[in-house]
């Protein structure tokens, strides 16, 4: 999948002369964009790793307790549905591992993967769960 074309701005899609990749407005902001990426990548990776660890350290019964505080009593944490559109040659599926489990290896562009992940996890349910977690009092399990 080509993200950039030779005849349109990589940011806004405005038509360009040959051999240009940004319009005048966006060419002036490339350094700022790269600096923001440099600041975000380590933070996002650290935060995602920490979030995965914390989610695994909460017992199912505690999630049930948190869900009871919500009128809809949802099942938390939610299980996101993530769809990644990839070329068939970029997908390798291994069904020979652990019974009932499938390993899928994807070779896709980082923006494609990140957009798919955000689309799968950026849900009202996850935001509602986070809001409830922020309000929890007395969730310490004694048995």
Q: pLDDT of 11-66, one tens digit each?
A: 998 999 888 889 989 999 999 999 999 999 999 999 999 999 999 999 999 999 99
Number of H helices, E strands in the chain: 5, 2
User: What pLDDT score was predicted for residue 77?
Assistant: 92
Q: Read off the pTM.
A: 0.75
20's CB contacts (< 8 A; 6+ apart) are 6, 9, 27
Beta bridge partners of 91: 106
Coil, helix or strand at residue 88: helix
């Amino acid at each position: 999948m080509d993200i950039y074309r030779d005849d349109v701005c990589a940011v806004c899609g405005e038509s360009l002369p040959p051999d240009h990749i940004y319009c005048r407005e966006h060419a002036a902001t490339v350094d700022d964009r790269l600096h923001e990426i440099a600041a975000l990548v380590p933070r996002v990776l650290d935060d995602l790793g920490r979030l995965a660890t914390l989610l695994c350290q909460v017992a199912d019964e505690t999630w049930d307790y948190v869900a009871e505080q919500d009128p809809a009593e949802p099942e938390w944490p939610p299980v996101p549905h993530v769809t990644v559109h990839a070329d068939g040659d970029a997908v390798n599926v291994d069904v020979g591992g652990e019974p009932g489990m499938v390993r899928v290896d994807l070779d896709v562009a980082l923006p494609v993967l990140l957009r798919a992940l955000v689309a799968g996890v950026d849900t009202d349910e996850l935001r509602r769960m986070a809001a409830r977690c922020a309000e929890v009092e007395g969730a310490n399990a004694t048995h």
